[in-house]
Amino acid sequence: MEAAAIVLAAGAGTRMKSKKPKVAHEVLGKPLVRWVVDAAHAAGVSQVATVVGHAREQVIPLVEGDTQVVVQEVQNGTAGAVLACADAFAGFDGSLSVLTGDCPLIKPETIARLAQVRDERNAAVVVLTMKLDDPTGYGRIIRDEAGQVERIVEQKDATPEQAAVNECNSGFYCFDARALFDALAQVSNDNAQGEFYLTDVLEICRNAGRPVLALATDDATECLGVNSRIQLAQVTKVMQRRINERHMAAGVTMVDPDQVWIGPDVEIERDVELLPQVMLMGATRVGEDSVIGPNTRLTDTCVGRGCTIEETVAIEVQIDDAATAGPRAYLRPGTHLCEGAKAGTHVEIKKSTIGRGSKVPHLSYIGDTTMGEGVNIGAGSITCNYDGKKKWPTTIGDNAFIGSDTMMVAPVTIGAGSIIGAGSCITKEVQPDALALTRPEQREVPGWAAKKRARQAAEE
């Protein structure tokens, strides 16, 4: 069965109250339109066209890699949007799905099922329908006396009797491509909105004697669209639960699933525990037996097995097996915690390798640094890597011990096994196994404090 799809993504979404087009808003880190495009590809659709219009410069980068971009110059309705794809599908003869770009919950299985039903029944169109307790705002499915789909009536054009119907149009269809474009030429804009409705194609095809079918979904949430920030939050909650349940079924523990947010491309191995207020986004990976959270956000980060990551923000970071981070650690892009390494409390690390078993326990900043194995960084120590124009490297050899409150002024190399005295400012290379310190001599003035207190008392 040859199948293709059109994704409608040209609307402005004025109720979003945003400078961004509606379909560019995100659910769990992924734009609305990408959810739909990816679902189409997962359904086995070979050719996908995305119709763009409003703020197209923001939408095109989201879809141009794996869809054909079609511009709807004038936003005159859904029929106009589909008709803009006529040239793109001029030689196509098969099942052509039309998908709504602001409905991210649609499942690949449903898209595939629509095409399968249309192909098996040789129908002109199969429309996905849903039954709602409150159908306000949706087009109504009007059936004839035999129960066959007769037409779809939009809310603003519905009579009171039609408005009482609770079977609604989801906005998802699968057409016979040739029948679709033949019918589009007959669509008019004689309606309350003055727009060209794609829904009119159903009645045109029926009048031409072609089968018009409805496929009812048993999960109406699949068809939830996003037209406001409130609906965006509602859709996000549904997707959050759907993703979390999939991971829990695969062996991931969540103390409170409502307080865990996982992006669609995240991979988690079994026996991982996710504590409350955890966000895993992008291409994040988490290995077996790791504990993540609470209060942790990982983006495009790879976590090995048996790690503990607590109250940590990590972006584009590699964390190897048995490493630990936090609480309150900030790991910036290019950071690599090797096996058993530690980034502790109030630690910031950027573009640095922390060697196997090395520790940056607390109150430190490490940037542009290559650190060997078994290194210990004392509290309050920093690499001074930026001269105002350029970032400079620091190299710390195996088993070096850096005393508390040390400044390492890059570029600088600290040899293996060396010891840096607390409170030092290291500006020159330190040889292996040496002691380096820049601490000034301590000076003491006997009785000075008592004399100061006496003067203050006399002044009062």
The two structure tokens encoding residue 264: 């669609």
| Residue 99 forms part of a structural domain | yes
Q: Can you give the pLDDT at residue 1? A: 62
Q: Are residues 201 and 273 in the same domain?
A: no
Q: Are residues 422 and 334 in the same domain?
A: yes
Q: Are residues 258 and 205 in the same domain?
A: no
| Residue 261 forms part of a structural domain | yes
The two structure tokens encoding residue 312: 């940590």
Q: Are residues 154 and 197 in the same domain?
A: yes
Q: Are residues 269 and 173 in the same domain?
A: no
Is 154 labeled as ligand-binding? Answer: yes
Q: Are residues 203 and 296 in the same domain?
A: no
Q: Can you give the pLDDT at residue 151? A: 86
Which helix (H) or strand (E) segment holds residue 416: the answer is none
| Residue 241 forms part of a structural domain | no
CA distances, 376 to each of 176, 356, 432, 433 (Å): 68, 11, 15, 14
203, 223, 243 - which closes a domain: 223
174, 207, 223 - which closes a domain: 223
Is 332 labeled as ligand-binding? Answer: yes
Is 190 labeled as ligand-binding? Answer: no
Residue 292 backbone phi and psi in degrees, to 5: -115, 125
Calpha distance 381→385 (Å, rounded): 13
| Residue 247 forms part of a structural domain | no
223, 243, 269 - which closes a domain: 223
The whole domain housing 149 covers: 3-223
Which parts of the chain register pLDDT below 70? 1
Is 376 labeled as ligand-binding? Answer: yes
Q: CA torsion, points 449, 454, 459, 460, in degrees to nearest 10?
A: 100
Q: Are residues 374 and 303 in the same domain?
A: yes
3-state secondary structure 90-126: CCCCCEEEEEECCCCCCCHHHHHHHHHHHHHHCCCEE
Q: Are residues 274 and 185 in the same domain?
A: no
pTM: 0.90
Number of domains in the chain: 2
Q: Are residues 75 and 210 in the same domain?
A: yes
The two structure tokens encoding residue 249: 């079924």
Is 386 labeled as ligand-binding? Answer: yes
Q: Are residues 107 and 187 in the same domain?
A: yes
Catalytic positions: 362
Q: Are residues 305 and 347 in the same domain?
A: yes
Is 17 labeled as ligand-binding? Answer: no
CA gyration radius for the chain? 31
Q: For residue 447, how many other CB atoms are within 10 A of its CB?
A: 8
| Residue 454 forms part of a structural domain | no
| Residue 55 forms part of a structural domain | yes
Q: Are residues 33 and 143 in the same domain?
A: yes
| Residue 456 forms part of a structural domain | no
Indicate which CATH number applies to the domain containing 396: 2.160.10.10
Indicate which CATH number applies to the domain containing 121: 3.90.550.10
